[in-house]
Chains A and B, each alone.
Chain A
Amino acid sequence: MSKPQKSSVKVRRFSKAFVWAHAVNAISFFALYITALPMYTEFFDWLYPILGGPEGARLLHRIFAVGFITPTFIWVIFDFKGFKLWMKELVTWKKRDLEFFTEFVKELFGFNFKHVRQTFFNAGEKINSIIQIFTAILIIGSGFPMWFPQFFPRAVVQWGYLLHNVGFGLAIAVIVGHVYLSVVHKNSRPGYSGVVTGEVPAWWAQEHYPDWYDEEVAKGNFPKLDDPHKPTTPGTPGTPNKKKKKGA
């Protein structure tokens, strides 16, 4: 099924800093998840012996909690431009972003769908990011009073437990989808290499993020792909985009 002529060309989608940040974030998250599971539900109590008892689990949870806080800093310090772009994208919403979702659902379940033109981040990723940021704030914010209850008013600690729980619930729900799309789902799977190596197949990038791709082509950063098989190419390559995209 593969089209060898397509797969050979790769383009840089994410900086090394982002790759690191993402990796730390992902590993921390799952480690936090695992170390908290036996507390979340007794069904997973068997994890305690593996984690070194409640104390081991607690220690690991705290170590990874620190890990969980660092990605933002890694990204900000080593790739501020990328971070800024992300932030900007998150607050930029257009009609096509909404359109994206209807198509996304079709794509998700493997039905026929059309690509809605997207910029550096597609609407799904933006939603993912927003929810992740929101839940991270909830989790981290509530984590501090839980870790150091002696420095916080009791009410803050008490609400902290709730928010930690809510944040976690939301995050895990989103992340299950996020992971599925990146690792399992065939249409978005190529994007997975983007968070591992920073590079993605050019054809995939062009298909999923045509606005961004075309802009980079215009800047001379990416090769112009000639894909006869490409059935639909909505929009015009090189269409001026008001938003400055600085993917690199």
Chain B
Amino acid sequence: MATEYVKFVDVTKCDGCRACMVACKNWNDLPAEPQDFLGSAQSHAKTTADTWNVLQYIEHENSRGGLDYLFRHSACFHCTDAACEKVCPEDAISYTDFGTVVIDHEKCVGCGYCVNNCPFEVISLKEYVDKNGDKYRKANKCTMCTDRLEEGLQPACVTTCHTEAMQFGDKAVMIQKAEERVKQIKDRYPNAMVYNPQGVGGTHTVYVLAEKPSVYGLPENPKVPTSAVVWKDYAQPIGKMMIGATTMAVVGAFITNTIISKKKNGKNENGGDSHE
């Protein structure tokens, strides 16, 4: 059993250098995808199938009337209760012992359910072309470099971060660090908080945010969508039961009909059985 790890991102130490973005592409061999000019320093509007982490740049007029230029390394949160894992119809998404949430491309059929159910909108589909020229899709997102973790390394983004805005380690230790850090920076950032949303059972990317989550475009109280819970925990099992029940009913009907028909063979007493 591996240790449960957390990537602790302290956005107040981040200087926006974007080395994490390059390190990610380098390790995961992801192609560049240049965008149109977005009107700010930000390169991509959000994470995509080929850009697993995006550095956000936010000009924010704070509560004291001053200007803050906020940065956030945005990537998969690796939720403890991951909506993506819940809705995946192919069991292609699973939890690892490290606490990371990974997609098995062998099983992924590219349905996109995870894409649309992720409360943080960090999963994207990518279109591939096989050797016959046929197109197919797979869901992609940050893996927390689970392949590196297996080799005893840290995620590429963490390794490259030079201001220690990102640290990787034992879950409890990281969360404690985050809580202590918030206390230190309350003067400068009165709205500072630890973002480890419990609506998804806590996450394995835990943030110290300088401002309220909404300033970063994050949900204040993210959770697995109710629709997904109803769907997967109720509708689908009940649906399967219903299909079973109906099938059982018709099978039963067939059997009873056959038996009754045999019994009544030749008698033809009732009108109800006189047709074929």
State if A and B touch, Cβ cutoff 8 Å. yes
Asked if A91 is at the interface (CB within 8 A of a chain B CB), the reply is no
Contact B134 A55 (CB under 8 A): yes
Q: Which of B157-165, B177-185, B238-246 contacts A (4 or more CB under 8 A)?
A: B238-246
Among B117, B245, B257, the residue within 8 A (CB) of A158 is B117
Q: Which of A121-129, A179-187, A210-218, A235-243 contacts B (4 or more CB under 8 A)?
A: A179-187
Give the contacts of A31-82 with B (CB-CB under 8 A).
38-42, 45, 48, 53-55, 57-58
Interface mask (B126-169 → A, CB under 8 Å = 1, otherwise 0):
00000000111100000000000000000000000000000000
Among A45, A173, A229, the residue within 8 A (CB) of B246 is A173
Asked if B228 is at the interface (CB within 8 A of a chain A CB), the reply is yes
A165 vs B231: C-alpha distance in the bound complex, in angstroms? 7
Residues of B within 8 A of A108 (CB): 249, 253
Contact B243 A176 (CB under 8 A): yes
Chain B: interface residue total (CB-CB under 8 A) = 51
A232 vs B250: C-alpha distance in the bound complex, in angstroms? 27
Give the contacts of B100-114 with A (CB-CB under 8 A).
109-113
Contact B257 A207 (CB under 8 A): no
Contact B240 A41 (CB under 8 A): yes
A115 vs B109: C-alpha distance in the bound complex, in angstroms? 50
Contact B231 A186 (CB under 8 A): no
Among B230, B239, B240, B256, the residue within 8 A (CB) of A110 is B256
Contact B276 A110 (CB under 8 A): no
Residues of A within 8 A of B276 (CB): 1-2, 186, 189-190
Can you name the residue of chain B whose Cβ is closest to the Cβ of A201?
B275
Give the contacts of A86-135 with B (CB-CB under 8 A).
106-115
- Contacts A40-B89, A55-B137, A185-B253; is A158 near B116 (CB within 8 Å)? yes
Contact A177 B249 (CB under 8 A): yes
Residues of A within 8 A of B90 (CB): 39, 42, 45
A3 to chain B, nearest CB (A): 8
Interface mask (A125-164 → B, CB under 8 Å = 1, otherwise 0):
0000000000000000000000001000011011101100
A246 vs B273: C-alpha distance in the bound complex, in angstroms? 29
Contact A110 B257 (CB under 8 A): yes
A35 to chain B, nearest CB (A): 12
The residue in B91, B243, B268, B272 that gathers the most chain A C-beta atoms within 10 A of its C-beta is B272
- Contacts A180-B250, A180-B253, A180-B254; is A161 near B113 (CB within 8 Å)? yes
Contact B112 A232 (CB under 8 A): no
Contact A162 B230 (CB under 8 A): yes
A186 vs B272: C-alpha distance in the bound complex, in angstroms? 10
Contact A39 B89 (CB under 8 A): yes
Residues of A within 8 A of B190 (CB): none
Residues of B within 8 A of A111 (CB): 256, 260, 272
Contact B110 A54 (CB under 8 A): yes
B239 to chain A, nearest CB (A): 3
Contact A161 B228 (CB under 8 A): yes
A39 vs B92: C-alpha distance in the bound complex, in angstroms? 11
Asked if A168 is at the interface (CB within 8 A of a chain B CB), the reply is yes
Residues of B within 8 A of A38 (CB): 109
A119 vs B58: C-alpha distance in the bound complex, in angstroms? 68
Contact A187 B275 (CB under 8 A): yes
B129 to chain A, nearest CB (A): 11
Residues of B within 8 A of A180 (CB): 250, 253-254
B125 to chain A, nearest CB (A): 10
Asked if B26 is at the interface (CB within 8 A of a chain A CB), the reply is no
Asked if A230 is at the interface (CB within 8 A of a chain B CB), the reply is yes
Residues of A within 8 A of B261 (CB): 110, 186
Contact B239 A161 (CB under 8 A): no
Interface mask (A215-227 → B, CB under 8 Å = 1, otherwise 0):
0000000000000
Report which B residues bind A (CB closer than 8 A).
87, 89-91, 109-113, 115-117, 121, 134-137, 225, 227-228, 230-231, 235-236, 238-240, 242-243, 245-247, 249-250, 252-254, 256-261, 268, 270-276
Report which A residues bind B (CB closer than 8 A).
1-3, 38-42, 45, 48, 53-55, 57-58, 106-115, 149, 154-155, 157-159, 161-162, 165-166, 168-170, 172-174, 176-177, 180, 184-187, 189-190, 204, 207, 229-232
14 contacts between A and B (CB under 8 A): A58-B109, A108-B249, A110-B273, A158-B117, A169-B239, A169-B242, A170-B239, A174-B246, A176-B243, A176-B247, A180-B250, A186-B275, A190-B275, A190-B276
